[in-house]
Structure 1
Amino acid sequence: MMDLKTTEEIGGAMIAEKSDCKESSTGSKLKGTGSLSNKDKIFRADKIDLKSLDIQLEKHLSRVWSRNMDSQRPKEEWEIDLSKLDIKHVVAHGTYGTVYQGTYDNQDVAVKVLDWGEDGIATTAETAALRASFRQEVAVWHKLDNPNVTKFIGASMGTSNLKLPTQSLPLAGDRFPTRACCVVVEYLPGGTLKQYLIRNRRKKLAFKIVIQLALDLSRGLSYLHSQKIVHRDVKSENMLLDAHRTLKIADFGVARVEAQNLREMTGETGTLGYMAPEVLDGKPYNRRCDVYSFGICLWEIYCCDMPYPDLSFAEVSSAVVRQNLRPEIPRCCPSSLANIMRKCWDANAEKRPDMDEVVKMLEAIDTSRGGGMIPEDQTPVCFCFSNVRGP
């Protein structure tokens, strides 16, 4: 039962003390004597904010019900033992949560912490979306096993005793959720593919490295597609590198099992610039939207640059769908690689190759003759009197 103090705070009720303040027939106030108990206090109903009271009560009951359900449900096979998890420091902040570095059972891990959407921080709809996204990500990830897919360690659902480093807590005045969910995966020290490409933007990459990264990505996507999984957000920011520069696909926040009915998979999901025309246009799509995104990533790996840097989101979206806009392939790019790019980003999804075909095409490329991107500060010379172009 809600106590008197809580009810006063929520409803803003005005309390009249029957024995302490009495009013005479003439309207004058008579001061009473003696102490009062709660039962001697009354509420003025016209001063109670019933709407606010109802909202607070609903949130309170929702939290209690959620905790009771969590305590009664059986433990999932992917749930971790929080006593073995040591979260150390922040690695990155994102739209849906924060990524930390830490250890789990003495293994280096990355911990993605999501706001569980309680304590008034999120609306009911946002809370439902967060929970659904979390379950979806875990359901997809914990069954995967491939050298080019980031290894899933485990997860914790709606925990109230997640120990976060004090320096990562919100600023004064902000509220940190009392319950959060987290996904724990292997820690990859090489950072994201995008960061690696930015570091090499001026000098570019050796052709062997270009093909190695492309093969890692294509093999990872081929594996996902063999498991009927469409990633839906293939981009260089969602690819991680280990200490040996092996590329691994990460971030399954929007991945889902491929629908049997293609019309079930609609809507703009992904990142503009990498999104296939059919996705941008709100049309049905399948795993070949990942193939399109791979084609853009392949161009990005070769050029160490970002596509459409001078265009706005609206301009990119319109031009890709209606004007068949694609990144410009440099003249020095070997035709074998350029052909793969063009096939992957074909406007007609049915003409795009499957990822296992892309793997075979990349494996057939001869890297012994060079063919890497020429840095902007190097002037190409005649083929007849020079070494093979590129690193």
Structure 2
Amino acid sequence: MAIAWYIMYRKKRFDRSHDTEKVCPRADNHPIRINGSDSSTVLSDSNQSRDSPRTSEWSNMPQWLEGLRRKRVASACGIPKYSYKELQKATWNFTTNIGEGAFGPVYKAQITTGQTVAVKVLATDSKQGALEFLTEVLLLGRLHHRNLVNLMGYCAERGLHMLVYVYMSNGSLASHLYNEKHEPLTWNLRVQIALDVARGLEYLHYGAVPPVVHRDIKSSNILLDHFMKARVADFGISRQEKSALHSSSDIKGTFGYVDPEYISTSIFTKKSDVYSFGVLLFELMSGNNAQKNLMEYVEFVALGVEDNEGWEEIADPRLEGKFDVQQLNFMGGLAYNCVNPVSRKRPSMREIVLALSEIRKPRNSETYRVITEETTFELDLQGTFDSSLTER
């Protein structure tokens, strides 16, 4: 009798654990480098060939959605699940609106631990649907880096989907560039923000296994914490690199930032993120909105770049001339390489991180030299880039 009871007990445990794994694949299926505090100096082994045990985690999204709604599943991949009532109370019945994005309204909230968080509610008519909600839950539950916005929990109840994030008290980079109520960002701070974002993207491209492409890098998706440290946010349309390499007629992204090669081929790669990052660099330099003909202005200024001079013409007037001309010319050259119309001639995010790290060091030479495992390239102050040495 005891033996029969033991066999039945073991079978029930197996069935229950097997059912849970259907809803939430084990985290070790996709090992993520947790120690990503400084991805520019500690490079992961994610560039080695390594296939995920799951054939297509994206194809199982509807199953995920069903799993999230099951009351007996307390969390998805280790991410805490909040009830609707908990978040309703934390947001004072959703009266603490602090913004509106493509995803839906965002509310400031205080959870039971006393910590201040941000709650994003998926609007019923949002362009981003349930799959985008699940993409964020799935990805951010496994991506850990100081330059990515941390997901603290989720809620899927009453036909609503909500995401709980670390609260970024200084808002978006876009608000600091275009809202007059904010003090102008100093040049040194702009350089630091660029490096923060580059490190976050480098981690996605080389630290995550499989690699992830963000697909919507823009100033409104860069959030700033209390110390003005930048983090990359909004992973609703992000994809694993293998998925992004498939051609699709449904072009994703934001006008002004989208890689023209992606538009023509419908194939998104890491270098498409690099293009968007290049646009972001020009935004930081100029204070001009990428959706208001920024790149046309850049091409016009580029015509006058000669003898290591010229990019200072693009400098944000709010800087009032308080910037290092040598650094600005270097950043202009780097940004111009990032937006090269031929993707294979663009630098990698790994190279960009090292290049931006160099800009913060005192230099007497007129040439910055960047060395990585894959390549060595030189970038002079005019922005001349030897494409024959670029990663291919």
Q: 1:110 aligns with which of 118, 122, 129?
A: 118
Counterpart of 2:280, as a letter, is: C
Q: Is contact 2:116–2:167 with CA below 8 Å preserved after alignment? A: yes
Q: 1:348 aligns with which of 327, 330, 342?
A: 342
Distance 1:339 1:255 in 2: 28
Larger Rg belongs to: 1
Quote the residue 1:271 is aligned against.
254
Quote the residue 2:91 is aligned against.
87
Superposed counterparts of 1:203-352, under 5 Å: 205-226=185-206, 227=208, 228-259=211-242, 262-264=245-247, 267-307=250-290, 309=292, 329-331=311-313, 334-352=328-346
1:255 to 1:261, Cα distance in 2 relative to 1, 3 A: closer
What are the Cα deviations for residues 88-112 of structure 1, in whole angstroms up to 9, with x where unaligned?
Answer: 4111123432111102232111001
Q: Is 1:363 the equivalent of 2:357?
A: yes
Report deviation, 1:279: 2.1
1:200 to 1:339, Cα distance in 2 relative to 1, 3 A: farther
Q: Is contact 1:201–1:304 with CA below 8 Å preserved after alignment? A: no
Counterpart of 1:94, as a letter, is: G
Report deviation, 1:242: 0.6
The residue matched to 1:335 in structure 2 has which SS? helix
Counterpart of 1:187, as a letter, is: Y
Quote the residue 1:74 is aligned against.
73
Report deviation, 1:265: 5.7
TM-score normalised per structure 1: 0.61
Counterpart of 1:219, as a letter, is: R
Q: Is contact 1:147–1:248 with CA below 8 Å preserved after alignment? A: yes
1:215 to 1:201, Cα distance in 2 relative to 1, 3 A: farther
Report deviation, 1:307: 3.2
Q: Is contact 1:205–1:304 with CA below 8 Å preserved after alignment? A: no
The residue matched to 1:272 in structure 2 has which SS? coil
Report deviation, 1:79: 4.0
What are the Cα deviations for residues 143-173 of structure 1, in whole angstroms up to 9, with x where unaligned?
Answer: 111111111101112x13xxxxxxxxxxxxx
Distance 2:276 2:68 in 1: 40
Distance 1:268 1:285 in 2: 9
What are the Cα deviations for residues 301-332 of structure 1, in whole angstroms up to 9, with x where unaligned?
Answer: 11122136259xxxx8xx89xxx958764445
What are the Cα deviations for residues 204-245 of structure 1, in whole angstroms up to 9, with x where unaligned?
Answer: 543321210110010011111121111100000001001110
Identity of aligned residues (%): 29
Q: Is 1:180 the equivalent of 2:160?
A: yes
Distance 1:276 1:197 in 2: 22
Distance 2:230 2:239 in 1: 21
Point out where structure 1 has 5 or more consecutive residues left out of the alignment: 1-65, 161-178, 370-391
What are the Cα deviations for residues 334-354 of structure 1, in whole angstroms up to 9, with x where unaligned?
Answer: 332122111111111111111
Q: Is contact 1:100–1:111 with CA below 8 Å preserved after alignment? A: yes
TM-score normalised per structure 2: 0.61
- The count of corresponding residues between Structure 1 and Structure 2 is 268
Quote the residue 2:155 is aligned against.
156
Quote the residue 1:145 is aligned against.
144
1:310 to 1:232, Cα distance in 2 relative to 1, 3 A: closer
Quote the residue 1:134 is aligned against.
133
Distance 1:238 1:91 in 2: 15
